[in-house]
Structure 1
Amino acid sequence: MSSGHDMSGAARAAVPAGDDGRSRLSHGRRIVAALAVTQTIGYGALYYAFSVFLIPMTADLHATGPQVAAAFTLAVLTTAACAPLVGRLLDAHGGRVPMSAGSVLATLALLAWSQVSSLPQLYGVLAAIGVASALVLYEPAFAVIVAWFDGPEAGRRANALLAVTIVAGFASSIFLPLSGMLVQRYGWRMALVVLAVIYGACAVPLHALVLRRRHTAAVKPARRGEPVRAVARTRPFRLLVLAFTAHSGAVATIAVLLVTYLIRLGHPPAFAATVAGLLGVLSVTGRLVTTTLRRRWPAAPVAAAVFVLQGAGAALLPLAGRTPAGAIGCVLAFGAGFGVGTITLPHLLAERYGTAAYAGLSGRVALFSVANRAAAPLGAIALAQVAGYGTVMAVVAGACALAAGALLAYHRA
C-alpha cells in the first residue's frame, strides 16, 4: 500500500508549481472531446462492424461461419497479448505517438481487410487490427486521461472518463446500422474502405494534434518497469486482476448468448433482439449511477454491489425469463453493470497506485481480462451444448459473485 502512496505522491510533486491550471484544464477538455470521438469511431469500425461483415465475408471467401468468426477471436486475443507492452510504451512516451501510430495502422489494416481473398489473409489482417486496437481503444485512452487529470485536477478524472465512455457507448448504435447500410448499398469490401477513410480522417489528426503529455519530472527509463513488476506481485493487484477478468468473461458471455437464449426460452426473435439492445442503453445508465454513488461511497464496494445485482439477474433468467416481464427484469438487472467495470478499474488503479505507472498496470490487467472476453463466450457455447443454457447462466452468476468478492477483498486489503 505504501508503494502506491509513494507513486501517487511523486506524480503530484512532479507538477510544476507555476503551471497554468486554467490552460491545462482547457486542453484537458479538448483531449476528452477528441478521445470521445476517436473511441466511438474506433469501436464502431474496429470492433462492432465485424458482425455486419460476417455473413457476406463467409460467402465471398467460401468459408464457414466459425472459420471467419475465429478471425475476430484472434484479433481480441492479439489485443490482450499486446496490452502489457503498449502499457509500458504509454508510461514511457505518453499517448500521442502510440495512439497516432495505432490510428495509422488501423486505417491501413481496414483498407487491407477490404482486399482479402483467403482465410490466411483475413487472419493476418485481423491480427493487425488487434495490434491497432491495443494502441487506440479504451486502455490507452484511459491512460491518457488518467495521466492528464492528475494532481490538482484529479477530482475531474471521473467525469472525464465518464464523458468518453458515455459518448463511445453509442458506437454500436451508430456503426451497426451504418455498416449494414454500406454493405447493402456498396458491398462489404467498399464498406470497409469507407470506414477506413472515416476512421483515418478523424483519428489520425485528433491523436497527433490534440493529445499531449503533461510536463512532469523525468523518470529514468531503466526504472519504469520496476513499480509495475513490484505491484503485480502484491495480493491487492492480483485481486483486481481476478475481479475484472471474471467480470469481463461474464459480460462477454451475456453479450454473445443473450439473444439466442431468450429465443430458446420461447420469445420471438424481434423481442429477444430488442431486449438485448437494452444492454447498450443500460451501460450508459450504469456508468452514470456508479459515478454518482462513488462520490459518497468507495468505488470497490459500489462496483461489487452492482456485480452482485448482475449475478442475480443472470441466475434468475432461467426461472423468470420465460415471461416478457421476467426477461426484461433480469436483463435490466444484468445491464445495470454492463459498463461499470470499464470506468471502475481506472479509478481503482489510480487511487491506490498513482499515475506514474498506470498504463503498465492497466496493461497487466487487460492481458487477462481482454483474453477472457474472447475466450469465455466460446467456452459458454461449448458448455451450453453439453449442459444447457441454464448451466451457463449459473456460471455467469458465479463469475459475477467471484468478481464482487474479489473487489471487497481488495477494498479491505
Structure 2
Amino acid sequence: MNPPSYRATVAALATGQLICWAALYYGFSSFVLPMQRALGWSKPQMMGAFTAGLAVWGATTYAAGAAIDHGRGRAVMTLGAALAGLGFLVWSRADSLGWLYAAWLLLGAAMAMTLYEPAFNVLTKRFPLQYREGITTLTLVGGFASTLSFPAVAWLIRALEWRGALAVIGAVLLLAIAPLHAWALKGTPTQDAPPRPHDSADDATLHEALRERSFWLLTATFTLYSFAAAALWAHIMPAFAAKGLSEASALAVVVWFGPAQVAGRFAFLAFGRWVSIRTLGLIVLAGLPLSLAIFALADSVFALLLFALLFGLANGLVTIVRGNLVPEYFGREHVGRISGAMSAIALLSRAAAPLLTAWLLLALPGYRELLLGLAALGVVAVIAYALARPPSADQ
C-alpha cells in the first residue's frame, strides 16, 4: 500500500481541517436562533449541549494523542470524521434536549479526533523533517473555516431549513471527509535521514513534562485563551444582535475572520524564520484582549471590522504557536501524549465557557460587560505565557 506523497497528504488533511472546523466548531452559533425559534429552548439549554460536546473533546483528547503515538493516526482521524457525520445526522433529527445532547457527545469525540491537534501530531510523526511547514499549511487552509461556515450555513438554512442543513453537513463529513482521511494516511511514508540524528531519549516523557513549570504556565495560557475564544464563538451572533445589527451586517463583519487569520499565517510563512515561536506568542496573544475590548465598546462598523481583523490575526497565529511549542519545548517522541494532556485541560475550560457565560449573562447588564471580562482573562493569559520559559531555561 503506497502512501500518498507529503504534498498530497497535507492537501487532503488541510481540506479535512477546513470542513471539520467549519462544521464542528464554527457552525453551532448559526443554529442557536433557528432552533430557539422552532423548539423554544433557552440559550443556556442549548449552550449546555455545546458545552457537553466540548467537555467530551477535552476528556478524550489525551486518548486520541496516545493512539497517534502508538501509530494509529489513520484510524483516529478517519473514525473522527465518521463520528462527526453521524453526530450531525442525529442532531438533524433532534426533537428533544436529550437527543441534542446525545448528538453533541458524539461531536465532542469527533472534535478530539479531527481538529488540528491530531492532524498536527500525525504530521509530526509521519514527516519529522517537514512537519513545521505542514502545520503552517493546515492552519493556512483551516483559517478560512469561519469564512466558509457562517455564510454557507446561513445559505443552507435558508434553502433547507435548519434540519436539512444539518443533514447535508453530516453527509459531507461521513461520505467525503472520512474516506479522504483514510486515503491520506494510508501506508508509512519514508523520508531521508535528517542531517543531524534526533535522539528520542532526549525528549521529555509526559511524566517529566508534568514536573516542568513551563508546562503548567503554558497550560494556563491556553486554558484562559480557550475559555475566552470559545465564549466569543458561542455567543457571537447573539452578541451582534444585541448591538442591533442585522444578520447580514453581522455576516459582513465575521467573514473577515478567515482572511485575517490567513493573512497572519502567510506573514508567518514569509517572515517567521526571523521571529522565534516564543516571541510570536507574546505578540499574538496580546491581540485577544485588545480585540475583545474593541468589540465590547464598538459602536461603528469600522470598529467592528477592526475587531474582526485583530481577532482573526490573533486566532490564526496562536494556532501555529501552540502547534510548534510542544515539540520545541519537550521534543517529538511523546508529542501526542504531552499535547493531549495540555489540550485536555484547556479544552475542559473551553467546554465550560458557553454555558458559564450564558448563565453569567443572566446576572450581567449585557454583552458589553461579558466581553470586557473576557478581555481581562486574555491579559492574564499573556502574563502566564511571558513567564513560561523553555524547560532548559528553568534549570
TM-score, normalised to structure 2's length? 0.83
Q: Do residues 78 (structure 1) and 56 (structure 2) align?
A: yes
Q: Which runs of 5+ in 1 are unaligned?
A: 1-22, 217-222
How far apart in 2 are the matches of 1:110 and 1:318?
A: 32
How far apart in 1 are the matches of 2:336 and 2:152?
A: 33
- Corresponding residue for 2:299? 322
Larger of the two Rg values belongs to structure: 1
- Corresponding residue for 2:332? 355
Contact in 1 for aligned 2:53/2:351 (Cα 8 Å): no
% of aligned pairs identical? 30
- Corresponding residue for 1:206? 180
| CA distance 1:280–1:374, change in 2 (3 Å) | farther
Which of the residues 309, 327, 331 maps onto 1:332?
Answer: 309
**Counterpart amino acid of residue 176 in structure 1:** F
Contact in 1 for aligned 2:32/2:46 (Cα 8 Å): yes
1:406 Cα deviation after fit: 2.3
- Corresponding residue for 1:180? 154
- Corresponding residue for 1:232? 210
How far apart in 2 are the matches of 1:92 and 1:305?
A: 35
How far apart in 2 are the matches of 1:352 and 1:346?
A: 11
Alignment of 1:17-36 (within 5 A): 27-36=5-14
**Counterpart amino acid of residue 166 in structure 1:** L
Alignment of 1:193-272 (within 5 A): 193-211=167-185, 212-213=187-188, 227-257=205-235, 270-272=248-250
Alignment of 1:54-69 (within 5 A): 54-58=32-36, 61=39, 63-69=41-47
**Counterpart amino acid of residue 167 in structure 2:** V
How far apart in 1 are the matches of 2:379 and 2:216?
A: 17
Deviations 1:271-294 (Å, cap 9, x if unpaired)?
454334322321222223344443
Q: Which runs of 5+ in 2 are unaligned?
A: 192-200
1:198 Cα deviation after fit: 1.7
- Corresponding residue for 2:194? none
RMSD: 3.1
| CA distance 1:98–1:323, change in 2 (3 Å) | closer
- Of 237-246 and 192-201, more deviation after overlay is shown by 192-201
Deviations 1:121-160 (Å, cap 9, x if unpaired)?
221121011112211221111111122231xx2xx33321
**Counterpart amino acid of residue 273 in structure 2:** R
Contact in 1 for aligned 2:284/2:318 (Cα 8 Å): no
Alignment of 1:132-143 (within 5 A): 132-143=110-121
Q: Do residues 157 (structure 1) and 131 (structure 2) align?
A: yes
Contact in 1 for aligned 2:222/2:381 (Cα 8 Å): yes
Contact in 2 for aligned 1:146/1:346 (Cα 8 Å): no
How far apart in 2 are the matches of 1:122 and 1:317?
A: 30
How far apart in 1 are the matches of 2:64 and 2:370?
A: 33
TM-score, normalised to structure 1's length? 0.80
How far apart in 1 are the matches of 2:295 and 2:151?
A: 29
How far apart in 1 are the matches of 2:43 and 2:81?
A: 29
Q: Do residues 298 (structure 1) and 272 (structure 2) align?
A: no
How far apart in 2 are the matches of 1:326 and 1:232?
A: 42
Q: Do residues 192 (structure 1) and 166 (structure 2) align?
A: yes
How far apart in 2 are the matches of 1:193 and 1:331?
A: 30
Contact in 1 for aligned 2:257/2:312 (Cα 8 Å): yes
- Of 128-137 and 388-397, more deviation after overlay is shown by 388-397
**Secondary structure in 2 matching 1:251:** helix
